Structure 1
């Protein structure tokens, strides 16, 4: 007699969904821990362009974006059929997530504005590649990452402007 799988299809899918949310929000917590202590101090002293959003916009946007990222990752892991595109999309997703996780500790923690700018430019490129591969595996996953790419592109422009204004 063959052993029964540990999780049924629906339970496995739910487990994967929870794991994706946990992973994304752990990254959010790392980002927040590096960022929050610097907002009222160091960040407040920086020259910023007039189009800088209010500080409250950032945690609201990121909470939504991490949720969309988690669902996109879940769709790639759980819903997309096995393929080279799916494998590439998952690898690229994890690479962009690592870049995302490194930005705040570098920019806010180390006060390394230019290094943060280099990281966020790599993040934009890696995220675009993630979306490209995701679209081949699961179009909805790629679509769910579009607001994230828009926000990261805006953040890259903001990071670049802050770097220039404070050089």
Structure 2
């Protein structure tokens, strides 16, 4: 099965849009939220398992790309089946929560609030993956690395918050 086609058909315009929205959106949000915050972040106590800074943009770019492909597959299937369900609105909610977290954690230094928000985000991602899976099993499976990364990020957020109370 080809990842970028659904029932043997590809819509390159839709695929591009679905990938660019999270990748470009995440990049712009990351830049805005992290602007002038790196020095402050560097001074925080971090857990031993905290990865080096360059890992984050690489991981997020890959995850945003995979999320975009998953959403593309669901939209293609929904169009073919001529049905709409809660998958796409849930995807939009989790993406908005994802973008909000960067501001809470970095820009506004609300690490405890960011922790609560990320817990809600993780639930929204899980619900999105579940709904995606009902429409397209591949799309649901594509969300699993994202769930794993956000679980790791939640642990990292908690540990950093705890170390710097």
Give TM-score, length-normalised by structure 2. Answer: 0.87
Matched with 1:116 is 114
1:14-163 to structure 2, matched below 5 A, reads 14-33=12-31, 34-35=33-34, 37-39=36-38, 41-80=39-78, 81-83=81-83, 87-163=85-161
SS of equivalent to 1:87: coil
Q: Which runs of 5+ in 2 are unaligned?
A: 1-8
Q: Pick the structure with more helix per residue.
A: 1
Please list every run of 5 or more consecutive structure 1 residues that lacks an aligned counterpart in the other structure. Answer: 1-9
Deviations 1:121-144 (A, max 9, x none): 111000001111111111111111
Q: State the Cα RMSD in Å.
A: 1.6
Counterpart CA distance in 2 for 1:36 and 1:58 is: 15
Question: Does the CA-based 8 Å contact 2:77-2:135 persist in structure 1?
Answer: no
CA distance in 2, matches of 1:73, 1:59: 21
| Separation of aligned partners in 2, 1:99 and 1:73 | 16
Within-5 A mapping of 1:2-17: 13-17=11-15
Bigger radius of gyration:
1
Across the two proteins, how many residue pairs are aligned to each other? 154
Once the two structures are TM-superposed, the CA of residue 82 in structure 1 deviates from its matched residue by 4.0
Q: In the TM superposition, what whole-angstrom CA distance separates every residue of 1:77-126 from its partner, at most 9, and x where no partner exists?
A: 1134344xx52111111100000010101110101111111111111000
